Amino acid sequence: SQQGEEDPQALSIQEGENATMNCSYKTSINNLQWYRQNSGRGLVHLILIRSNEREKHSGRLRVTLDTSKKSSSLLITASRAADTASYFCATDIMNRDDKIIFGKGTRLHILP
């Protein structure tokens, strides 16, 4: 079973619309992080939410965390063409040291 699975696997929306991506995980975590990856490029850290937090904002990004459901969502408001990328959640598993585990990602495509 996967620790950190995003859905949908792919999402296409019109520019200006909001994009919502979800992440589910299986074991308890210290924190959950979201990263963006442009095609063939490196991973960019977007936002980290700790297990005792429920919601966090950063610019046009809004992340929620529901530890009872073991799920998180990333909302990008007023999407732009430059938001086209793959988005990954990564979990820092409780009682496991020194690594974060990535999901398979959601490929987001913003249509002009």
Partner 1 sequence: EPEVTQTPSHQVTQMGQEVILRCVPISNHLYFYWYRQILGQKVEFLVSFYNNEISEKSEIFDDQFSVERPDGSNFTLKIRSTKLEDSAMYFCASSVAGDRAGGYGYTFGSGTRLTVV
Q: Which residues lie near partner 1 (CB under 8 A)?
A: 30-31, 33, 35, 40-45, 47-48, 50, 88, 90, 92, 96-105
CB nearer to partner 1: pick between 14 and 39: 39
Could you give the CA distance from residue 41 to residue 28 in angstroms, rounded to a whole number? 30
91 phi and psi angles, rounded to 5 deg: -110, 140
Rounded least distance, CB 98 to partner 1, Å: 4
79 C-beta neighbours (distance < 10 Å), count:
21
Rounded least distance, CB 17 to partner 1, Å: 26
Cα–chain center distance at 101: 12
Rounded least distance, CB 82 to partner 1, Å: 18
**Coil, strand or helix: which one is 31?**
strand
Best CA proximity match to 94, nearest among 61, 58, 50: 50
DSSP-derived letter for residue 54 is S
CB nearer to partner 1: pick between 15 and 51: 51
Rounded least distance, CB 63 to partner 1, Å: 12
CB nearer to partner 1: pick between 48 and 75: 48
